[in-house]
Structure 1
Amino acid sequence: MNVIELSGIGKSYGDLKVLEDVNLKVREGETLGIIGPTGAGKSTLLRIMDLLERPDAGEILFHGENVDNLKPLEVRRRMGMVFQNTPVFRGTVTGSILYGPGVRGERPNESEVKEVLELVGLEGYEYRKTHELSGGERQRLALAQVLINRPEVVLLDEATSSLDPISRSRMEEVISGLDVTVIFTTHDLLQGQKLADRIAILNHSILQTGSPREIFTKPASRFVAEFVGARNILSGRARVTGDGISIINCDGISIYSSEKARGDVSATIRPEDITVSWQRTDSSALNQLRGRVVAVRDSGSLQQLEVLCGGETLTVHMTRKSLHDMGITTGSSVWIEFKASAVHIIR
């Protein structure tokens, strides 16, 4: 079941068009990451979902009902939002948590407050003064202020971006443990991979939705490919053979893909799907290219080779041990190979 559905959402501020034809469905119980560059409209979209702002165009459904037919305050009370720097109230932690329910005419008991504090990792902080809290603790308190109201949907707008690495990691642990529908915005791809069941790539409109693996292995456009850090993006002209295999003529090389395409296309190959050898091997891989290593870079646990094949430079990942055992250095003449199924075509 979908908790929130957005259809054709548009929003402008004067001549600045922030959102255009945004279509998105949020499933009940999932954690959805809305990821995009700075200025992509992420915060505006979240504020529209929370009914803090009205779109200029489009329709919002909450549990299948158009929000125009519902009372905005009642809908908002079924959701809770944490901002990048959410203000907390002066006084004690408990007082800050109880403020929201008090406005609603509710009074959670002591055990409910303790339960929420344990959930966000602030157990024992009941009587701590809020001005004594660190930045990370304040953000977790802000989340506790939302959770005490038992929302159906929790919205997090760059809620960890201003935190130090340790505080961010602790906040991520809390978010991943929430048993509620969560929608968060971030420009951090690694955080999106870590926390999200599904990812929506936003750049004024939704460019692609899918699981983190789908987004990273099969980007739907060149923008998405570049944004998620695809290393090998080749452009060329494709045709389909009688065997149903596509041949893409690039700059000085031709590569094969199991995906059918014709005309001008882009193609991506993940560096970890490419193997290196000194000689051409007797392999089932259709793509076997001779090249020259033009750079070797240390990227942590893996070594990154840049191999020039024809006029295209392909990035290959190798372990440090494999590189050492093979004795590959800058200037080495090698063969690289990869399967046709490893070539994803972007139309």
Structure 2
Amino acid sequence: MKPIIAVNNVKNERVKNVDFEIMEGTLTTVIGPSGSGKSSLIMLLNRLTDPEEGEIFYKGKQIVDYPINELRRKIGVVFQQANLFDGTVEENLKFGPNLIKEWNSKLGVSLLEKVQLPKDFLTKEVDHLSGGEQQRVAFARTLANNPDVLLLDEATSALDMRTVDLMEELLEFLVNEEGKTIVMITHDLKQAERLGTYTLFMNEGSLEEKGYTKELFDNPTTEALMRFIEG
């Protein structure tokens, strides 16, 4: 197992002196109090923001050396809100692949199968979908670019429990069967513990603890993490 992303002493106005690696083909959960810098951290990984200091590498090459569109295809992001374009589901799904002329309708059906939506959803207007359906389409739209890395910013927090279960099954499939790498912010500590191989604990803009998820939850070494886990 080798690192796919390496963050070296990164700092900006929201995070400070952050240093960690994301291992290829794993799911890393990111936990911490509100305002601790979790979202700011993962936004750095596909250049939604840039650091003031430090370096970030993707597959051994500095991310600033990749064309921005290529980087964001390879490191995709799904937010808490679906943020779909107006139009049909298919128009949303094909946006990224169309940029590099790789779209076909079979891909659309395959993407909907992954998020457990029927193929007739391709022609549905997105504003006619429920919130949970829209979020599944947002996942599928990001997967349409065939990213190596998925960044999830509370992407399941607004969903009902049944849809959360479906999405967790999908995440485990993507990691275990397709070898994707996932970095997932979650406020649900049980979910973080259940899904994570590794966990990062952010507090007041600093990465206070990092390590294997089970070990980090079972044996926190800082008072801040102990308090956070205890609630």
Cα distance in 1 for partners of 2:125, 2:209 equals 44
How many Å apart are 1:111 and its aligned residue?
Answer: 1.8
8 Å contact kept, 1:153–1:183: yes
How many Å apart are 1:116 and its aligned residue?
Answer: 1.1
Asked if 1:80 corresponds to 2:80, the answer is no
The AA in structure 2 aligned to 1:109 is N
Q: Which residue of 2 aligns with 1:110?
A: 105
How many Å apart are 1:198 and its aligned residue?
Answer: 1.0
Q: Which residue of 2 aligns with 1:36?
A: 32
Q: Which residue of 1 aligns with 2:42?
A: 46
Cα distance in 1 for partners of 2:20, 2:185 equals 14
Using structure 1 for the length normalisation, give the TM-score.
0.62
Distance 1:74 1:40, change over 3 A: same
Q: What is the number of equivalent residue pairs in this alignment?
A: 224
- Helix, strand or coil at the partner of 1:26: strand
- Helix, strand or coil at the partner of 1:7: strand
- Helix, strand or coil at the partner of 1:20: coil
How many Å apart are 1:151 and its aligned residue?
Answer: 0.7
The AA in structure 2 aligned to 1:11 is N
Cα distance in 1 for partners of 2:64, 2:76 equals 19
Greater strand share, 1 or 2? 1
How many Å apart are 1:134 and its aligned residue?
Answer: 1.1
The AA in structure 1 aligned to 2:220 is P
Structure 1 portions without partners, runs of 5+: 13-17, 231-347
8 Å contact kept, 2:73–2:146: no
Greater helix share, 1 or 2? 2
1:93 pairs, out of 89, 106, 118, with 89
Distance 1:105 1:216, change over 3 A: closer
Q: Which residue of 2 aligns with 1:293?
A: none
The AA in structure 1 aligned to 2:208 is L
Using structure 2 for the length normalisation, give the TM-score.
0.91
Q: Which residue of 2 aligns with 1:155?
A: 151
How many Å apart are 1:147 and its aligned residue?
Answer: 0.6
- Helix, strand or coil at the partner of 1:143: helix
How many Å apart are 1:216 and its aligned residue?
Answer: 1.5
Q: Which residue of 2 aligns with 1:198?
A: 198
2:60 pairs, out of 57, 64, 68, with 64
Cα distance in 2 for partners of 1:130, 1:77 equals 22
8 Å contact kept, 2:3–2:21: yes
- Helix, strand or coil at the partner of 1:25: strand
Asked if 1:217 corresponds to 2:212, the answer is no
How many Å apart are 1:197 and its aligned residue?
Answer: 1.3
Cα distance in 2 for partners of 1:11, 1:86 equals 27
How do 1:164-179 and structure 2 match up within 5 A? 164-178=160-174, 179=178
Cα distance in 2 for partners of 1:134, 1:55 equals 37
Superposed CA deviations along residues 277-329 of structure 1, whole A, max 9, x for unmatched, are xxxxxxxxxxxxxxxxxxxxxxxxxxxxxxxxxxxxxxxxxxxxxxxxxxxxx
Q: Which has the larger radius of gyration?
A: 1
Cα distance in 1 for partners of 2:66, 2:127 equals 38
8 Å contact kept, 1:136–1:171: no
Moved more, 182-191 or 125-134: 125-134
- Helix, strand or coil at the partner of 2:16: strand
2:118 pairs, out of 111, 115, 123, with 123
- Alignment RMSD (CA, Å): 1.5
Q: Which residue of 1 aligns with 2:181?
A: 181
- Helix, strand or coil at the partner of 1:54: coil
Cα distance in 2 for partners of 1:195, 1:177 equals 11
Cα distance in 2 for partners of 1:96, 1:34 equals 28
Superposed CA deviations along residues 64-103 of structure 1, whole A, max 9, x for unmatched, are 112233333322221211111021122221121012222x
Higher RCO (Cα < 8 Å, 6 or more apart): 2
Cα distance in 2 for partners of 1:99, 1:69 equals 24
The AA in structure 2 aligned to 1:59 is E
